[in-house]
Amino acid sequence: GPKVLQIPSHQIIDMGQMVTLNCDPVSNHLYFYWYKQILGQQMEFLVNFYNGKVMEKSKLFKDQFSVERPDGSYFTLKIQPTALEDSAVYFCASSAGTGGSAETLYFGSGTRLTVL
Amino acid sequence: AQKVTQTQTSISVMEKTTVTMDCVYETQDSSYFLFWYKQTASGEIVFLIRQDSYKKENATVGHYSLNFQKPKSSIGLIITATQIEDSAVYFCAMREDSNTNKVVFGTGTRLQVLP
């Protein structure tokens, strides 16, 4: 099936540093998402993105967070500066559009971020 | 605001039996989409099945089916003839039709299928 690739799979950084998580969505998908999961618990919505713009962001999407997808390349989540509570697994997802099967989210395998 | 609730944190069943996982949701919209996803032990998240709110028939895909009770805002997942490899965490999710395509997830139900 369609694949979403996330790079890297694991990232360890010191608190206060900047980190960029990369996502290569399914080709021709239009909607992109980031979710945060701590200790295999709930998938918390962070943000979604369409047509070069943030559509909606949650309270978890702090001012230190930003997303972009320059020129159809990677869809990135940048955290600057990082905090200890940012340690989690971050999942990227994409979907083709709206209505019917286009609604299905396809997920990457996640990036485990450890902030020391 | 949309909200999805899964009250069962963990279920254990014997192999080849049928299991039902509960999910209730809250929404102000008359049109919405409901989903079930599965997260395996490796962390992989896989789409299983979808129910559009305007459809009265319960969705069925393979050995997965849904029990959609709109008046109760409930969308249960039924797995028949369970297999060991069905052991995973199952997430219920919802998207409101009028919103910004935001999809919210429940807290998940861990299913263990025993031999």
A89–B43 C-beta distance less than 8 A: yes
- Closest approach of A92 to chain B, Cα-based (Å): 11
Closest residue by Cα to residue B21 from B81, B85, B87, B91: B91
A71: DSSP letter: G
Closest residue by Cα to residue A90 from A55, A31, A43: A43
Task: Write out pLDDT tens, residues A10-52.
Answer: 999 999 999 999 999 999 899 999 999 998 788 999 999 999 9
First to last CA, chain A: 36
Average model confidence (pLDDT) across chain B: 94
Partners of residue A103 in chain B, C-beta under 8 Å: 33, 35, 50, 95
In what side-by-side order are the strands of the sheet with A65-68? A5-7, A19-24, A75-79, A65-68
Query: In chain B, pLDDT over 70 holds for what percent of residues?
Result: 99
**Cβ neighbours of residue A8 closer than 8 Å, sequence gap 6 or more:** A22, A111
Average pLDDT over residues B23-50: 94
A50–B39 C-beta distance less than 8 A: no
How far apart are alpha carbons A80 and A89 in whole angstroms? 17
Q: Which residue of B has its CA nearest to A58?
A: B102
Contact status, residue A37 vs residue A60, Cβ threshold 8 Å: no
Contact status, residue A49 vs residue A33, Cβ threshold 8 Å: yes
Task: Write out pLDDT tens, residues B62-89.
Answer: 999 999 999 999 999 999 999 999 999 9
How far apart are alpha carbons A18 and B14 in whole angstroms? 47
What pLDDT does A2 receive? 83
Task: Give the rounded distance of the alpha carbon of A14 from its chain centre.
Answer: 20
What pLDDT does B69 receive? 97
How far apart are alpha carbons B51 and B53 in whole angstroms? 6
**Cβ neighbours of residue B79 closer than 8 Å, sequence gap 6 or more:** B18, B19, B20, B21, B63, B64, B86, B111
Q: Residues of B numbered 59-78 whose beta carbons fall under 8 angstroms of chain A's beta carbons: which are they?
A: none
Task: Write out pLDDT tens, residues A53-108.
Answer: 999 999 999 999 999 998 878 999 999 999 999 999 999 999 998 877 888 999 99
